[in-house]
Amino acid sequence: MTELAFLPAWRLAELVRNGAIGCLELLDHYIARVERLDDRTNAVVVRDFDRARDRARMLDQQRRDGRAGPLFGVPMTVKESFNVAGLRSTWGFEEYRNNVAAEDALAIQRLSSAGAVVFGKTNVPVSLADWQSYNPIYGATANPWNLAHTPGGSSGGAAASMAAGFAGLEIGSDIGGSIRVPAHYCGVFGHKPTWGLCPSRGHALSVVAAMTDISVIGPLARSATDLALALDVIAGPDPAETALATPLPPPRAARLADLRVAVWSSQPGQATDTETTGAIEALADFLEREGAQVSRTARPEFDATEAFHIYLKLLNTALSARLTEDKLVRMREAAARHAADDMRPEAIMLRTVDMTHRDWLRVNERRFQLRRAWGAFFQDWDVLLCPVIATAALPHMQQGEPWERHVTVNGRTIPYDDMLFWPGVTCAYHLPASTAPIGTTSAGLPIGVQIVGPLYGDRTTIHVAGLLERHWRQFVPPPGWE
């Protein structure tokens, strides 16, 4: 029954529907795996087995009474940052150690209504602000492909849980790669929806009612089909927004041969590991052979550096309300140590510390102009393929603040925050982006690709992920997790 653990959610739901397996039996299978194997990864850090078993028993009863749902009986873990009534929601902050949510996040309500059985929560970095997942409350999560490496972040526990076969489906959040990077690091699928498509109510430490710019919630899974299934469940306006319907257009092209694909595998001035670039180029060659229209030079009509810098400013200002006074003081001091004309990412971000709303409006206006350039670009191209981030999964690195760290890419040392380029150049503009596994490095670590589409083109990017899954590479479990 090991294979069962690595089946996609849609298959699990099918087995339950057919009566081939019971909800409780399936849940117990995953619980047993978590109990047996999660010591190695430390992914499922909040466990809620008893309530989940009660619910699974109830669902088994309901199934016999004819009740169904697209995720009926699928055992699920969710990112720690989602409120689940009765469970801790800490975002890794020591001071929120005893913060217990009173009600489910809207997305959790919707997933439960679709029949999912939530039985645990998965690890995150402090404040969800890293591409690693460690914090003083739950410790560090390791990558199932290599325990010396991070699974990524901030939905790092989620991606590890998928890769190690601990759950059927996951849900995470993303403002700077937090769904896409861990999916890529762990060799699983992830989808960052068009901004605003999936209401994030209940994905907040305090009761945040307003939407955070750039930030989204979205699924992680072992199959592109699951991304489509989960997106349908969590998308659509908050009931308060009654007059807005979001009828997502169907995929633009059914077959690889019908696709118009722009490939952006490296960018001058931005470090991208040659193995990552090589994997995307190999995929481009394949798509060409399959008859797709492929361009390796098509780009949106903007200066990529400006597009990146706009992102850095919007990202940091969007997150500024979460900063403590103490952190603000340290950022001001750090900003003062950088020259005014220092255009390195960390300097640009630090300088936003006290940005006026007036200056933000100007940056926002430029963002919307560039958003239109993306819009024009996607008149000519159906999807853009690009790296998710500069490298495959990195070794654990837990010293200092992210902006003080460095990494080595292609033998060159670069600031950690320089790696924001690939995640940010798409999400600042609210675009949907799916991540699919496309290969491995020579060291055996997974490599994923970022499949970017036009605003509300979510079904297109997920469909392309599905085509790659069928014709290029599907999810492969890491060795040693039977």
Partner 1 sequence: MDPTFLSAKRLASLVRRGDIGCVELLDHYIARVERHDGRINAVVVRDFERARKRARTLDRRRKQGARGPLLGVPMTIKESFDIAGLPTTWGVPAQKDVIATHNALAVDRLLDAGVVLFGKTNVPLLLADWQSYNAIYGTTNNPWDLALSPGGSSGGAAAALAAGLTGIEAGSDIGSSIRNPAHYCGVYGHKPTWGICPPLGHSLNGNVAQSDISVIGPLARSADDLAVALDVMAGPEPIETGWRLNLPPPRQAAFKGLRVAVMTDHPLSEVDASITGRLDELATFLRRQGAKVSLTARPDFDLAEGHRLFIELLRATTSGRTDAAGMRHWRNEAARLPNGDESYYAMMARGISMTHRDFIIGNETRQRMRRAWAAFFQDWDVFLCPAAASPAVPHDHAGERWERTIPLNGHRVPATDQMFWAGISGFYLLPATVAPLGFAPSGLPVGVQIVGPQYGDRGTIQLARLLEKAWQGFVPPSGWD
Helix (H, G, I), strand (E, B) or coil at 104: coil
> Does the footprint of partner 1 cover residue 249 (CB under 8 A)?
yes
Report the residue from 109, 246, 295, 440 that binds partner 1 according to the rule CB under 8 A: 246
d(CA 358, CA 471): 49
Q: In the bound complex, what is the minimum distance in angstroms from residue 91's beta carbon to partner 1?
A: 17
Give the C-alpha separation, 481 to 371, whole Å. 43
When the beta carbons of 368 and 471 are compared against partner 1, the nearer one is 368
Residue 1 makes contact with partner 1 by CB under 8 A: no
If the CB atoms of residues 194 and 223 are measured against partner 1, the closer one turns out to be 194
Nearer to partner 1, 18 or 242 (CB): 242
Of residues 32, 368, 408, 470, which one binds partner 1 by CB under 8 A?
368
Query: Under the phi-then-psi rule, with left for phi > 0, alpha for psi from -120 to 50, and beta for the rest, what region is 425?
Result: alpha
Binding segment (CB under 8 A) for partner 1, from list 68-76, 128-136, 260-268, 363-371: 363-371
From CA 218, how far away is CA 188, in angstroms rounded?
Answer: 14
Looking at residues 379 to 438 of the shown chain, list those that interact with partner 1 (rule: CB under 8 A).
Answer: none
Query: In the complex with partner 1, which residue's Cβ is closer, 168 or 219?
Result: 219
| Least distance (Å) between residue 194 CB and partner 1 | 6
Minimal distance in Å, beta carbon 478 to partner 1?
36
Q: Which is nearer to partner 1, 160 or 318 (CB)?
A: 318
User: Could you say whether residue 340 binds partner 1 (CB under 8 A)?
Assistant: no
Closest separation in Å from C-beta 301 to partner 1 = 14
Size of the site for partner 1 (CB under 8 A): 41
Instruction: Name which position in 50, 65, 66, 244 contacts partner 1 (CB under 8 A).
Output: 244
Minimum CB distance to partner 1 smaller for 297 or for 356: 356
Q: Exposed, middle or buried, 396 (CB in 10 Å: 0-12/13-18/19+)?
A: middle
Q: Write the burial class of residue 109 (CB in 10 Å: 0-12 exposed, 13-18 middle, 19+ buried).
A: middle
CA distance 252 to 273: 31
Among the listed ranges 41-49, 103-111, 169-177, 242-250, the one in contact with partner 1 (CB under 8 A) is 242-250
Q: Is the Cβ of residue 383 or residue 407 nearer to partner 1 in the bound state?
A: 383
Least distance between partner 1 and beta carbon 336 (Å): 17
The length of the chain is 482
What end-to-end distance do the CA atoms of the chain give, in Å?
Answer: 9
247 is a contact residue toward partner 1 (CB under 8 A): yes
Q: 33 vs 459, which CB is nearer to partner 1? A: 459
From candidates 27, 171, 197, 263, binder to partner 1 by CB under 8 A = 197
Strand partners, 24: none
Taking CB under 8 A as the rule, does residue 358 contact partner 1?
yes
Q: Which is nearer to partner 1, 33 or 430 (CB)?
A: 430
3-state class (DSSP) for residue 384: strand
Region from 49-57, 127-135, 203-211, 380-388 binding partner 1, contact rule CB under 8 A: 203-211
Contact 391, 423 (CB under 8 A): no
CB 34 within 8 A of CB 44: yes
Interacting positions 295-334 with partner 1 (CB under 8 A): 317-318, 320-321, 323
**Subset of residues 451 to 480 that bind partner 1, contact rule: CB under 8 A:** 454-456, 458
Tell me the C-alpha distance between 292 and 290, whole Å: 6
Around 473, how many Cα atoms within 13 Å sit in the side-chain half-sphere? 22
- Interatomic CA distance for residues 442 and 275, integer angstroms: 8
Question: For residue 309, what are its two tokens?
Answer: 């810098």
DSSP bridge partners of 406: 415
Site for partner 1 (CB under 8 A): which residue of 1, 209, 339, 340?
Answer: 209
Which residues are CB-contacts of 330 (< 8 A; sequence separation ≥ 6)? none
Pairwise CA distance, residues 422 & 345, whole Å? 13
CB neighbours of 10 closer than 8 A, spacing ≥ 6?
223, 225, 226, 229
Among 361, 411, 412, 479, interactor with partner 1 by CB under 8 A? 361
- Least Å from the CB of residue 132 to partner 1: 26
Segment near partner 1 (CB under 8 A), from 18-26, 112-120, 245-253, 474-482?
245-253
SS3 sequence of 311-338: HHHHHHHHHHHHCCHHHHHHHHHHHHCC
Q: Quick one: which H or E segment has residue 433?
A: strand 433-440
112: left (phi over 0), alpha (psi -120 to 50) or beta: alpha
User: Please, which residue, 131 or 360, has the CB nearer to partner 1?
Assistant: 360
**Residue pair 165/186 in contact by the 8 Å Cβ criterion:** no
> Could you tell me the smallest distance in angstroms from the CB atom of residue 233 to partner 1?
17
Nearer Cβ to partner 1, position 164 or 363?
A: 363
Q: Which of 65, 98, 245, 411 binds partner 1 (CB under 8 A)?
A: 245
* Other residues' Cβ atoms within 10 Å of the Cβ of residue 296: 14
Binding residues for partner 1 (CB under 8 A): 194, 197, 208-210, 240-249, 317-318, 320-321, 323, 354-362, 364-365, 367-369, 371-372, 375, 454-456, 458
